[in-house]
Amino acid sequence: MLTQSDLAISKLGEPRHDSPLVFDDVRTRFLSDSSRVLHEIDYCDGDDIVPLGFERAGARRRVFFDASKSKAAIVTCGGLCPGLNNVVRNLYYHLHSCYGVPSILGIRFGYSGLNPKEGFPPIELTPESVEHIHHQGGTILGTSRGPQEPKVMIDFLVEQGVNMLFCIGGDGTQKGAHALAEEVRKRGLEIAIVGIPKTIDNDIQYCYRSFGFVTAVSEAEKVIDCAHVEAKSVPGGIGLVKLMGREAGFIAAAATIASGEVNFALIPEVPFELEGKHGLLGKLERRLAARNHAVIVVAEGAGQHLLNRHGEEFDKSGNRKLSDIGMFLKEQITRHFGAKHQPASVKYFDPSYNIRSVPADAADSLLCEQLARNAVHAAMCGKTDMFVGSWHNHTVHVPLPISVGQIKRIDPESEMWTTVLAITGQDKW
């Protein structure tokens, strides 16, 4: 059970400068640190409402750092996600044009670029180098997976004179950011570590919608359209689409609802069986008998228990297959209908890289801007060990300790999942 103190945000110190925002001639609604956004907002008549809330993100009248003497660094980590370049571009512009920070470094290839031994020196960002990047997918900084030693990274930041680090990445990256903040605290340094959560799977806690998610759903919907076309083109046609979602099936569920062409959606949160009365194969048989084609969407993390169960017979074919639910389903379905001499033609789609490497759409561009801008405000105020989250359509400050290691999943009783059931017509498993 969260308390208000769990939601308190760490600060490097008290503010000591006036904010030199270029638009301060407008009566910007500067916020105070006591501004909150309620954690829970649905209730029943008669309930007491507990005033537990996140700190609201936004510009503060007084900031911690002297922008003119500051140096910021930006690092992008983990898998690609639409919008990374928008975040980099907006961080740059808000730091450079609004606050006047003279130097902003782009760290190359994720945290490995903070370890000099890896041999990837940072690049100095310029207006020209970021001007067009929001029209490109990927990240101009490059990325990598895996941690680096916090000591080494902080040594590097100190050596470079960096006092604000923006860590764009998923749960692992935010864990790394937390370790960096701890190291900063231990040494008594004045370096703000501010995260921007990035998860194409949309599975980070306290981040209602992560950037890139909507673009990914759009791209997934296009692939489902193709699968639908393929499925309808032959008797017994089955379009099988594997989508991203290791721990959480948000992309699969949202693309299913958006497309309206899916008959079976399989996600990690809802186990399913292949055989038996409620098994996928029997359901698929009944669907083909009725309509002669079917579309299946499967999140990559779904049905892992089935893979393990069939493990032995599959070991001979190599380990790689074991973890691939898409190929596994393709084979099981083909085998099942082959044994029954029923026509079934599985067309398999595995579009993950295509989905994650496109530029952000307008909805995600707006979100990226919002997160980047507020991350700059937070860092300038000396906030640290936190990320900028999105909560009930407000941007908020989330302490890293309460988010990292948590995973947001689809509740099988939620509106989202019951909607998937209603739209696909698939029963409870």
Residue 232 sits in the site that holds a copy of itself (CB under 8 A): yes
Q: Which of 75, 217, 265, 371 binds a copy of itself (CB under 8 A)?
A: 217
Residue 393 sits in the site that holds a copy of itself (CB under 8 A): yes
- Distance separating alpha carbons of residues 102 and 69, to the nearest angstrom: 7
Residues in 90-119 at the binding interface with a copy of itself, rule: CB under 8 A: 90, 93-94, 97-98, 109
User: Are residues 213 and 368 in contact, defined by beta-carbon separation less than 8 angstroms?
Assistant: no
User: Are residues 7 and 52 in contact, defined by beta-carbon separation less than 8 angstroms?
Assistant: yes
Residues in 339-378 at the binding interface with a copy of itself, rule: CB under 8 A: 347-351, 353-354, 357-358, 361-363, 365-366, 369-370, 373
- Distance separating alpha carbons of residues 287 and 263, to the nearest angstrom: 8
Shortest distance in whole angstroms from residue 183 CB to a copy of itself: 25
Identity of the residue, 181 or 298, whose beta carbon is nearer to a copy of itself in the bound complex: 298
Residue 81 φ/ψ region, left for φ over 0, alpha for ψ in the -120 to 50 degree band, beta for the rest:
beta
- Distance separating alpha carbons of residues 177 and 166, to the nearest angstrom: 9
Position 93: which residue type?
Answer: Y
Q: Which of 155, 225, 273, 324 binds a copy of itself (CB under 8 A)?
A: 225
- Distance separating alpha carbons of residues 141 and 91, to the nearest angstrom: 13
Secondary structure letter of residue 135 according to DSSP? G
Identity of the residue, 308 or 414, whose beta carbon is nearer to a copy of itself in the bound complex: 414
Distance set, CA 82 to CA 128, 195, 199, 358 (Å): 21, 17, 10, 6
Q: Which of 318, 319, 339, 341 binds a copy of itself (CB under 8 A)?
A: 318
Residue 297 sits in the site that holds a copy of itself (CB under 8 A): no
Specify the stretch interacting with a copy of itself by CB under 8 A; choose among 61-69, 177-185, 196-204, 387-395: 387-395
Binding mask 147-186 for a copy of itself (x = CB under 8 A): ----------------------------------------
- Find the DSSP H helices in 234-318: 250-259, 280-291, 304-309, 311-315
Q: Which of 83, 122, 142, 195 binds a copy of itself (CB under 8 A)?
A: 142
Residue 244 φ/ψ region, left for φ over 0, alpha for ψ in the -120 to 50 degree band, beta for the rest:
beta
Binding mask 54-93 for a copy of itself (x = CB under 8 A): --x-xx--------------------x--------xx--x
Which of 171, 201, 203, 385 is flagged as catalytic?
201
Secondary structure letter of residue 116 according to DSSP? G
- Distance separating alpha carbons of residues 284 and 281, to the nearest angstrom: 5
User: Are residues 216 and 249 in contact, defined by beta-carbon separation less than 8 angstroms?
Assistant: no
Identity of the residue, 158 or 226, whose beta carbon is nearer to a copy of itself in the bound complex: 226
Query: Encoding tokens for residue 98?
Result: 């609004």
Residue 263 sits in the site that holds a copy of itself (CB under 8 A): no
Residues in 6-45 at the binding interface with a copy of itself, rule: CB under 8 A: 21-23, 25-29, 32, 34-38, 41-45
Residue 135 sits in the site that holds a copy of itself (CB under 8 A): yes
Residue 201 falls in the annotated catalytic set:
yes
Catalytic positions: 201
